[in-house]
Amino acid sequence: MSPDPETDAPAFLDFLIDLGRKSPGNVLLVDNDPSSQLISEHRKELKKYFLFLTAEAEINDIGDDKKKTADAASRFGLPVPQTFSFNNSDNDPGKIDIDFPLVLKPRKSHGSLGQYVIKNSDEFIRTLQIINDKKSEYIAQEWIPGDVKNLCNCVTIFDENSQPRGIFSIRKLNVLSSKRIRQGIATYYRSENIREIIKPSIEFLKSIKWQGLAELEFKYDERDSKFKLFEINPRVWAWIRLPMECGVNFPGIYYDLLCGKNVNLVYDFRTGVTYLRSMVDTYSSFYKLRTGEMNILSFSGDLITKYAKALFKPEDNIVEDLPWKNPNMRWVRFYLKKLNEYG
């Protein structure tokens, strides 16, 4: 097992270099945020041993740092939620020209870790006391109201000349609900050609000279009828099997680009295909049942409907894995350990 790139970056970098020296020429596919930025910062050295495709560090950081994401998108003219960044001396909610509720989130995080949904000024002050001298590592961002289905993603891969070579988009149908996480982790998706986010995503990434994989997350704001960008993930996403099943093989495109093959843009894909992350989706439903957001009839009906679709039309209703398989059992063990924290 490798060292954690988030808590021990030097050891993780040494691990990669040692691995590369022992077996040079392998393809390196980035699958989490901390390692994405670390690899970008050391791309010159790591390219002696590995084949990989990432943006320059300062460009990759636009995806890694949510404040830089908002700033760069705003300069380009892409709508974003209202965003406020802190100095460590900021304790006055009156300085923030954002209505409650708002989201207090780390500038660099993944899976909604460390995020707080703030409903009023008293909660705001208490939360600032919790994060204390780390305020400069956080942003406050407008909470965009609306249904889960207003959450949409565009995913893409760009070659070393900052040209798109694969494009795909989805609508989220359900997200993980827990005491600590709301809307940060999707559990149920549907492939959909959403031109309103595809075109601006591609043009924006071209403008900043992006390279490699990117997942852009939007929410449709019914108040002004705009899709607003709130996050870019510069790495492989958890549901990458869905575009592969729908005709956009991102790992295959990535490999072919690194092998020097001529790759034409792939943008036609099957729509209406669902993808269920079985364990986290079921956990979320149990949480809603416990908190009264669902009753036993809606809980049972929801699960039966999803699995019946997967059983009778599996080509259009993909399940990540069956709940009792080993990858999902890791989720079970994780949430049992975190039950008090996550609910």
Angle at CA 172, nearest 5°, toward 213 and 34? 35
Give me 329's structure tokens: 């059992």
Q: What pLDDT digit, counting tens, does each position of 55-111 carry? A: 999 999 999 999 999 999 999 999 999 999 887 666 666 678 889 999 999 999 776
pLDDT at 94: 63
pLDDT at 10: 94
Rounded CA-CA distance 246/251 in Å is 13
DSSP string, 160-188: TTS-EEEEEEEEEEEEEE-SS-EEEEEEE
Rounded mean pLDDT of 208-224?
A: 98
Rounded mean pLDDT of 187-216?
A: 98
Torsion sign, CA atoms 45, 47, 48, 50: positive
Residue 334 has pLDDT above 80, yes or no: no
Q: What is the pTM of this model?
A: 0.92
Nearest to 154 by CA among 201, 111, 187: 201
Q: Classify domain 148-342 at the CATH superfamily level.
A: ATP-grasp fold, B domain (3.30.470.20)
pLDDT band at 176 (very low <50, low <70, confident <90, very high): confident
Whole-number CA gyration radius for the chain: 20
Rounded mean pLDDT of 156-179?
A: 93
Are 167 and 216 in contact by the 8 Å Cβ rule? The answer is no
Give me 130's structure tokens: 């919790």
Residue 158's H or E segment, with its range, is: strand 151-158
User: What is the DSSP code (8-state) at residue 134?
Assistant: G
Residue 338 has pLDDT above 60, yes or no: no
Tell me whether domains 82-142 and 148-342 share a fold.
no
User: What is the DSSP code (8-state) at residue 171?
Assistant: E
Q: What pLDDT digit, counting tens, does each position of 270-308 carry? A: 999 999 998 888 888 888 888 898 999 999 999 999 999
Q: What pLDDT digit, counting tens, does each position of 11-41 carry? A: 999 999 999 999 999 999 998 888 999 999 9
Rounded CA-CA distance 137/315 in Å is 44
Query: CATH fold of 82-142, please?
Result: Dna Ligase; domain 1 (3.30.1490)
pLDDT at 82: 95
User: What are the extents of the domains in the chain?
Assistant: 82-142, 148-342
